[in-house]
Amino acid sequence: MIPDCSRVHFHESIVEISGRKVRRKEDKTAVKRWFTCPDNLKELLQSIRPEHPDPEALVFPSPKGHSMTASNFRDRGWTAILSDLGLSMKEGIKMTPYNCRDTFITLQALQGHSSTTIARWVGNSSKIIEERYLDRMKLDHLRPTNI
Protein backbone atom coordinates (compact mmCIF):
# COMPACT_ATOMS: atom_id res chain seq x y z
CA MET A 1 0.00 0.00 0.00
CA ILE A 2 1.34 3.44 -0.77
CA PRO A 3 1.43 6.01 2.06
CA ASP A 4 -1.80 7.84 1.17
CA CYS A 5 -3.69 4.50 0.83
CA SER A 6 -4.87 5.37 -2.67
CA ARG A 7 -3.45 2.14 -4.11
CA VAL A 8 -2.77 -1.35 -2.80
CA HIS A 9 -0.08 -3.61 -4.25
CA PHE A 10 -0.91 -7.32 -4.27
CA HIS A 11 2.40 -9.11 -4.55
CA GLU A 12 2.59 -11.87 -1.97
CA SER A 13 0.40 -14.22 0.04
CA ILE A 14 0.34 -16.15 3.28
CA VAL A 15 -0.66 -19.77 2.82
CA GLU A 16 -1.19 -22.58 5.26
CA ILE A 17 0.97 -25.64 4.60
CA SER A 18 0.71 -28.62 6.95
CA GLY A 19 -0.86 -26.42 9.62
CA ARG A 20 1.90 -23.79 9.37
CA LYS A 21 1.57 -20.30 7.87
CA VAL A 22 4.13 -19.57 5.17
CA ARG A 23 4.70 -16.19 3.52
CA ARG A 24 5.09 -16.55 -0.26
CA LYS A 25 6.57 -13.82 -2.42
CA GLU A 26 3.70 -14.18 -4.88
CA ASP A 27 -0.06 -14.62 -4.84
CA LYS A 28 -2.02 -17.61 -6.12
CA THR A 29 -1.67 -16.61 -9.77
CA ALA A 30 1.92 -15.29 -9.44
CA VAL A 31 0.78 -11.96 -10.92
CA LYS A 32 1.74 -8.78 -9.09
CA ARG A 33 -0.92 -6.12 -9.45
CA TRP A 34 -1.94 -2.69 -8.21
CA PHE A 35 -5.48 -1.87 -7.18
CA THR A 36 -6.63 1.75 -7.08
CA CYS A 37 -8.81 2.28 -4.00
CA PRO A 38 -12.12 4.12 -4.23
CA ASP A 39 -12.48 6.98 -1.74
CA ASN A 40 -14.45 4.99 0.86
CA LEU A 41 -11.85 2.21 0.94
CA LYS A 42 -9.03 4.74 1.02
CA GLU A 43 -10.67 6.42 4.05
CA LEU A 44 -11.10 3.07 5.83
CA LEU A 45 -7.46 2.15 5.25
CA GLN A 46 -6.30 5.57 6.47
CA SER A 47 -8.44 5.24 9.60
CA ILE A 48 -6.84 1.93 10.65
CA ARG A 49 -3.28 2.69 9.54
CA PRO A 50 -0.79 3.21 12.37
CA GLU A 51 0.83 6.66 12.65
CA HIS A 52 4.21 5.24 11.58
CA PRO A 53 3.29 2.25 9.43
CA ASP A 54 5.73 -0.59 8.83
CA PRO A 55 5.67 -1.39 5.09
CA GLU A 56 5.79 -5.10 5.97
CA ALA A 57 2.89 -4.91 8.47
CA LEU A 58 -0.36 -6.70 7.79
CA VAL A 59 -3.28 -4.49 6.78
CA PHE A 60 -5.85 -6.59 8.65
CA PRO A 61 -4.04 -8.50 11.43
CA SER A 62 -5.71 -10.81 13.92
CA PRO A 63 -6.49 -9.39 17.39
CA LYS A 64 -3.04 -10.65 18.48
CA GLY A 65 -1.30 -9.04 15.50
CA HIS A 66 -0.77 -12.19 13.45
CA SER A 67 -2.05 -13.22 10.02
CA MET A 68 -5.48 -14.83 9.93
CA THR A 69 -6.44 -18.06 8.25
CA ALA A 70 -9.47 -17.93 6.00
CA SER A 71 -11.35 -20.37 8.22
CA ASN A 72 -10.57 -18.39 11.39
CA PHE A 73 -11.75 -15.15 9.78
CA ARG A 74 -14.90 -16.81 8.43
CA ASP A 75 -15.79 -18.67 11.61
CA ARG A 76 -14.96 -16.01 14.21
CA GLY A 77 -15.56 -12.74 12.39
CA TRP A 78 -17.58 -13.06 9.22
CA THR A 79 -20.23 -15.47 10.48
CA ALA A 80 -20.77 -13.60 13.76
CA ILE A 81 -21.16 -10.21 12.05
CA LEU A 82 -23.56 -11.54 9.41
CA SER A 83 -25.57 -13.34 12.05
CA ASP A 84 -25.90 -10.13 14.10
CA LEU A 85 -27.08 -8.31 10.96
CA GLY A 86 -29.47 -11.09 9.96
CA LEU A 87 -27.61 -11.63 6.69
CA SER A 88 -26.35 -15.21 7.07
CA MET A 89 -28.47 -16.40 4.16
CA LYS A 90 -29.76 -14.57 1.11
CA GLU A 91 -32.27 -16.23 -1.19
CA GLY A 92 -31.27 -19.62 0.22
CA ILE A 93 -27.54 -19.05 -0.35
CA LYS A 94 -25.11 -19.02 2.58
CA MET A 95 -23.17 -15.76 2.46
CA THR A 96 -19.39 -16.23 2.34
CA PRO A 97 -16.47 -13.81 2.04
CA TYR A 98 -16.09 -15.04 -1.53
CA ASN A 99 -19.57 -13.64 -2.29
CA CYS A 100 -18.05 -10.16 -1.86
CA ARG A 101 -15.62 -10.89 -4.67
CA ASP A 102 -18.43 -12.12 -6.91
CA THR A 103 -20.50 -9.04 -6.09
CA PHE A 104 -17.55 -6.73 -6.79
CA ILE A 105 -16.95 -8.32 -10.19
CA THR A 106 -20.63 -8.15 -11.13
CA LEU A 107 -21.00 -4.52 -10.01
CA GLN A 108 -17.90 -3.47 -11.94
CA ALA A 109 -19.25 -5.20 -15.07
CA LEU A 110 -22.60 -3.44 -14.65
CA GLN A 111 -20.75 -0.11 -14.40
CA GLY A 112 -19.24 -0.79 -17.81
CA HIS A 113 -15.68 -1.82 -16.93
CA SER A 114 -14.15 -4.24 -19.43
CA SER A 115 -13.50 -7.87 -18.59
CA THR A 116 -9.77 -7.18 -19.09
CA THR A 117 -9.77 -4.37 -16.50
CA ILE A 118 -11.79 -6.39 -13.99
CA ALA A 119 -9.54 -9.41 -14.55
CA ARG A 120 -6.46 -7.32 -13.75
CA TRP A 121 -8.07 -6.04 -10.55
CA VAL A 122 -9.07 -9.47 -9.25
CA GLY A 123 -6.23 -11.62 -10.62
CA ASN A 124 -8.15 -13.65 -13.19
CA SER A 125 -8.11 -13.88 -16.94
CA SER A 126 -10.65 -11.93 -18.98
CA LYS A 127 -11.85 -15.28 -20.33
CA ILE A 128 -12.80 -16.44 -16.82
CA ILE A 129 -14.52 -13.12 -16.08
CA GLU A 130 -16.55 -13.40 -19.28
CA GLU A 131 -17.44 -17.07 -18.79
CA ARG A 132 -18.35 -16.92 -15.11
CA TYR A 133 -19.69 -13.41 -14.62
CA LEU A 134 -20.61 -11.71 -17.86
CA ASP A 135 -22.57 -14.42 -19.52
CA ARG A 136 -25.79 -13.01 -20.92
CA MET A 137 -28.18 -15.10 -18.82
CA LYS A 138 -26.52 -14.14 -15.53
CA LEU A 139 -26.81 -10.41 -16.24
CA ASP A 140 -30.21 -10.37 -17.96
CA HIS A 141 -32.12 -10.55 -14.69
CA LEU A 142 -30.09 -7.61 -13.33
CA ARG A 143 -31.07 -5.22 -16.13
CA PRO A 144 -33.47 -2.46 -15.24
CA THR A 145 -36.91 -2.83 -16.73
CA ASN A 146 -38.46 -0.20 -18.97
CA ILE A 147 -40.82 2.06 -17.10
HEC secondary structure over 43-108: HHHHHHCCCCCCCCCCCCCCCCCCCCCHHHHHHHHHHHHHHHHCCCEECCEECCHHHHHHHHHHHH
Q: Kindly state whether residues 75 and 109 are assigned to the same domain.
A: yes
Q: Name the domain boundary from 67, 86, 116.
A: 67
Say yes or no: 44 and 20 in one domain. Answer: yes
pLDDT band at 146 (very low <50, low <70, confident <90, very high): low
Segment 65-84, tens digit of pLDDT:
888 877 888 888 888 888 88
What is the number of domains present in the chain?
A: 2
Whether residue 108 is found in the same domain as residue 120:
yes
Domain co-membership, 40 together with 84: no
Alpha-carbon span 60 to 45, nearest angstrom: 10
pLDDT tens per residue, range 41-64: 999 998 988 777 777 778 888 888
Amino acid at the residue 144: P
Output the pLDDT for position 43.
93
Longest dimension (CA), the chain: 57
Residues 36 and 89 in one domain: no
Query: Which DSSP letter does residue 129 get?
Result: H
Q: Do 44 and 74 sit in the same domain of this protein?
A: no
User: Is 57 found in the same domain as 40?
Assistant: yes
- Note whether 146 and 76 are same-domain residues: yes
**Nearest of 103, 96, 1 to residue 54 by alpha carbon:** 1
Domain range enclosing 140: 69-147
Q: How sure is the predictor about 27, in pLDDT bands with cuts at 50, 70 and 90?
A: low
Is residue 40 very low, low, confident or very high in pLDDT (cuts 50, 70, 90)?
very high
How much is the average pLDDT of 22-50?
A: 82
Query: Which domain-ending residue is among 67, 93, 110?
Result: 67
Q: How confident is the model at residue 26 (pLDDT cuts 50, 70, 90)?
A: low
Residues 101, 89: Cα–Cα separation, whole Å: 17
Tens digits of residue pLDDT in 84-122: 888 877 777 778 888 888 888 888 888 888 999 998 888
